[in-house]
Amino acid sequence: MKLALGLWIMGVVYAVFYMVPPVEGLGDLVRIAFFHIPVAWVSVLAFLLSAGWSLQYLRTRDIRYDLKSSAAASLGLLFCLLATISGAVFAKLTWGAYWNWDPRQTTIFILLLIYGAYLVLRTSILDKEERAKISAVYALLSFLTVPFLVFIIPRFYFSLHPEPVINSAGKLEMDAIVLYVLLAAVGACTALFWQCFSYIVQNKQESA
Amino acid sequence: MAMGKNLSVQLLDVRKKIGTRVLFEKLNIVVNPGECLAITGPNGSGKSTLLKIIAGLGQPTTGAVQVWYNGKQLDLEERRACLGLISPEIILYTDLTGSENILFFTRLRGLRCSQDQIEEYCKTVGLAIYKDQLVHTYSTGMRQRLKFALMLAMQPVLWLLDEPSSNLDADGKMLVAQIISNGLAQKATVIIATNEPWEAEYADCKIELV
Amino acid sequence: MPTAKSSLFNGIWAIFIKDGLCEFRTRYAVSALFMFALISLASISMSIGIVSLPVELTAALLWVILFFCAMAGLSRVFVQEQESGTIVALQIYGSGQAVLFGKLLFNVIVLLSLTLLVIPLFIIFLNVDIYRWPIFIVILIMGDIGIAAASTITAAMVAKSQGKNALFTVLTFPILLPQFLGSISATTKILANIEPNASEIVFMAGYNVVLMIASSILFDYLWYD
């Protein structure tokens, strides 16, 4: 399983450097996107999973859901940091500034704040059940703000971020090869996340 | 509330583990209306913890506490709405007077309690002349008496008493004995956690923790 | 047994009166908050002198000041109960919804009276002209309710943790952010003498309602173990 994942990731890396053509206007910089997009996707996915398991915990009071929720959040923070940094580097190289409060940057920054707050909250409560309960409530409460942020942020900041993969016309503006490599990269990144996640959960369950 | 006091408490295989230490396990008992359960045991044996679990302020590690009222099982919110708790962990507002404390808690629970009734309850516990003074001027014994006045005002069906006569003088202890036997006569369900042998004498059943 | 519905309003009112009375007797939180607001406004005004600020910055300043005042004082509703140990009695004798909304009501009133004091100072110190009072007042009320709603439930969360005050700000900010950005953008328009869109007001009101419903559902998990 691990071997297959390793080979897959190596394959994706190879494809990114040798098979994807440089894009007009961005040149070789576009290769950062093959790291940035999957990592950003995983950090959002981890947030959803963490909130989902929090809900499960509150309903069942089974401490295993709390372990899962916290493991997803810790990994989510890591991926979120990677996404922020790779995004900032890309921004510096293409737009000339590391940070300019672009809507996407703002969103990922808020995600970073929420992850940070959630994890700090966890470290500051000693009792295990109390911690599980309170942090689950916080995860769900912060999850609630997301739809509102999607509404308010674009009104507040002007965007330079490239269009999403599928733009508003529903048309793919991408070479087939680029799309396949990107999908493979997203898959690899998600699988890597899942592998790390299972490892952490297993470790925690054994020590608990 | 006063009518049909028909509340029973059932412990089903209750077990509590804190850290690696098992406080108690395999507790099975039914306490019926008008009956008194005494929980005894040395310090640190988990008396207060068990009482809190019965009050719904904590969960057992495994097993369950069920509270039945007129044939219906109560959820946590309903359970709290019909119990009265006397415990060192109950602390009343020191910035309010004795009667304001009673007024606040009865209103909070949606009960009507007139000034006359409050005066009556304060008189019962011997606080009549102090009822309009701030609680932070009270001694610990007076605060314990105020907790009893508050419990009487709440008219609970389930009484949970943790060391009810702690900090009380001889007169106060007699008062507690009086209040408990009145409660039992009115078919309240009483659970006492205690180290005092005389308090355990009311008990129809006992749990001895080790 | 009293029915839950009829006693809910009584319970909310009892909590509100109790908190108000305790606060009136000690005057601890409110006076500290007022001084905090005064100092933060005066320090800004002193450091910029008579230069007039751009409207975006002025609007942001107003909400930053209100936010940090709230962070300095609003956690008290639960932290105080926890520290003095009265929370156990409250948990035994009070229903979760009554406690939550009673505390929320108290926080809203504290924040509104703070705003009442901050606004004149704000106008004097920063030399601001406000042309559309009615809509400005609506925005202030909406914003204050939002801050109070977000901070009441986070106050209940931090009460049982360590390092309460720092954590309180950290937890509240991300939850409040949509409302915060909305208030700033609407206030900017007011200061620039532009009528804010109705949709902005609706957004703020909607956020308040959602926040309160979510708090109401989630608070029961915190209150009933």
Return the higher-pLDDT residue of C136 and A127: C136
Confidence of residue A10 (pLDDT cuts 50, 70, 90): confident
B1/B62 Cα distance (integer angstroms)? 32
pLDDT category of residue A167 using cuts at 50, 70 and 90: very low
Of B30, B28, B31, B20, which is closest to residue B159 (Cα–Cα)?
A: B31
Q: How many CA atoms lie within 13 A of C128 on its CB side?
A: 28
Q: Which of A61, A140, A144, A156 to mutate to test the interface with C (most CBs of C within 10 A)?
A: A144
Nearest by CB: A121 against C153, C167, C182: C167
The torsion angles phi and psi of B142, rounded to 5 degrees, stand at: -65, -35
Query: Which strands sit side by side in the sheet containing B189-193, from one edge to the other?
Result: B83-86, B158-162, B189-193, B36-40, B205-208
pLDDT in tens, B113-133: 889 999 999 999 998 899 899
**Which pLDDT does position A69 carry in this prediction?**
93
Quote the CA–CA distance of C217 and C221 in Å, as a whole number: 8
3-state secondary structure of B63: strand
Neighbours of B182 (CB within 10 A): 12
In a domain, C167, yes or no: yes
Q: Look at residue A174 in the predicted model and tell me its pLDDT.
A: 61
Number of domains chain A is built from: 1
Report the DSSP pairing between strands B83-86 and B7-18: unpaired
Strands B189-193 and B158-162: parallel
Taking the CA of residue A8 as centre, how many other CA atoms within 13 Å lie in the half-sphere pointing to its CB?
16
Tokens representing A76 are: 């989510």
Contact A124 C214 (CB under 8 A): no
At A158, the pLDDT band (50, 70, 90 cuts) reads low
pLDDT at residue A163, rounded to an integer: 53
Q: Is C4 a member of any domain? A: no
In a domain, A76, yes or no: yes
Return the pLDDT at A168: 42
**C175/A152 Cβ within 8 A:** no
Q: Which domain holds residue C153?
A: 9-223
- A145–C163 C-beta distance less than 8 A: no
Contact C173 A113 (CB under 8 A): yes
Conformation bin of residue C53: beta by default, left when phi > 0, alpha when psi is -120 to 50: beta
Give the Cα separation of C157 and C100 in Å (integer).
12
Nearest CB to B95 within list C26, C224, C225? C26
**What is the tens place of the pLDDT at every residue in C61-100?**
999 999 999 998 888 899 999 999 999 999 988 889 999 9
Q: How far apart are CA A45 and CA A80, in angstroms?
A: 10
pLDDT > 90? residue A202: no
Mean pLDDT of chain B: 88
Least confident range from A2-6, B104-108, C22-26, C193-197: namely A2-6
Q: Cα separations (Å) of B132 from B114, B138, C201?
A: 15, 11, 47
Q: CB–CB of C222 and A151 under 8 A?
A: no
From chain A residues 39-78, the ones with a CB under 8 A of any chain C CB are 58
- Is residue B175's pLDDT more than 80? yes
Angle at CA of residue A167, ends A162 and A173, nearest 5°:
80
pLDDT at A171: 46
**B123-159: pLDDT as tens digits:** 999 988 998 999 999 999 999 999 999 999 988 999 9
- pLDDT of residue A169 exceeding 60: no
Q: Does C192 touch chain A (CB under 8 A)?
A: no
Residue corresponding to tokens 């709603």? C149
The residues of B whose Cβ lies within 8 A of any Cβ of C are 1, 55-59, 69, 76-78, 80-83, 85, 87, 89-96, 100, 104-105, 107-111, 154
Chain B neighbors of C91, CB-CB under 8 A? 57, 80
Q: Is B28 helix (H, G, I), strand (E, B) or coil?
A: strand
Instruction: Tokens for B200, please give them.
Output: 């355990």
Give B27's contacts (C-beta < 8 A, 6+ positions apart).
Answer: B11, B13, B14, B15, B50, B63, B207
For residue C2, pLDDT beyond 70 = no
On whether residue A11 sits in a domain, the answer given is no
Kindly compute the dihedral angle of the four CA atoms of residues C70, C71, C73, C79, in this order, to the nearest 10 degrees.
130
Please indicate whether residue C225 or residue A71 has the higher confidence score (pLDDT).
A71
Q: Is B170 exposed, middle or buried (0-12, 13-18, 19+ CB in 10 A)?
A: exposed
Is the residue at C3 inside a domain? Answer: no
Q: What is the mean pLDDT of residues C131-156?
A: 93
Buried (b) or exposed (e) across C90-122, using 16+ Cβ within 10 A?
bbbbbbbbbbbbbbbbbbbbbbeebbebbbebb
pLDDT at C154 exceeding the cut of 80? yes
Query: How does pLDDT run across A68-106, given as a tens digit for each residue?
Result: 999 999 999 999 999 889 888 888 887 778 887 877 788
Q: Which of A134-143, A198-207, B121-130, C108-117 has the lowest mean pLDDT?
A: A198-207
Amino acid symbol at A147: P
Instruction: Answer yes or no: is C67 within a domain.
Output: yes
Domain that holds residue A117: 32-161+172-207
Is some CB atom of chain C closer than 8 A to the CB atom of A171?
no
Write the pLDDT tens digit of every residue in B67-85.
998 888 888 888 888 899 9
List b or e across C42-76, with b for residues whose CB sees 16 or more CB atoms inside 10 angstroms.
Answer: eebbeeeeeeebebeebbbbbbebbbebbbbbbbb
Query: Of the candidates C64, C88, C66, C84, which has an alpha carbon nearest to the alpha carbon of residue C76?
Result: C84
The pLDDT-based confidence of B1 (bands split at 50, 70, 90) is very low
User: Are A20 and A178 within 8 A, CB to CB?
Assistant: yes
Count of the separate structural domains present in chain C: 1
Of C140, C166, C142, the C-alpha closest to C154 is C166
Spatial contact of B25 and B189, defined as CB atoms under 8 Å apart: no
Residue B21's pLDDT is 86
**What average pLDDT is seen over chain C?**
89
Chain C residues with CB within 8 Å of chain B CB: 1-4, 6-8, 10-11, 13-15, 17-18, 21-22, 25-26, 84-86, 88-96, 98, 220, 224-225
How far apart (Å, rounded) are the C-alpha atoms in residues A177 and C194?
A: 50
**For residue C67, which of C150, C159, C188 has the smallest C-alpha distance?**
C150
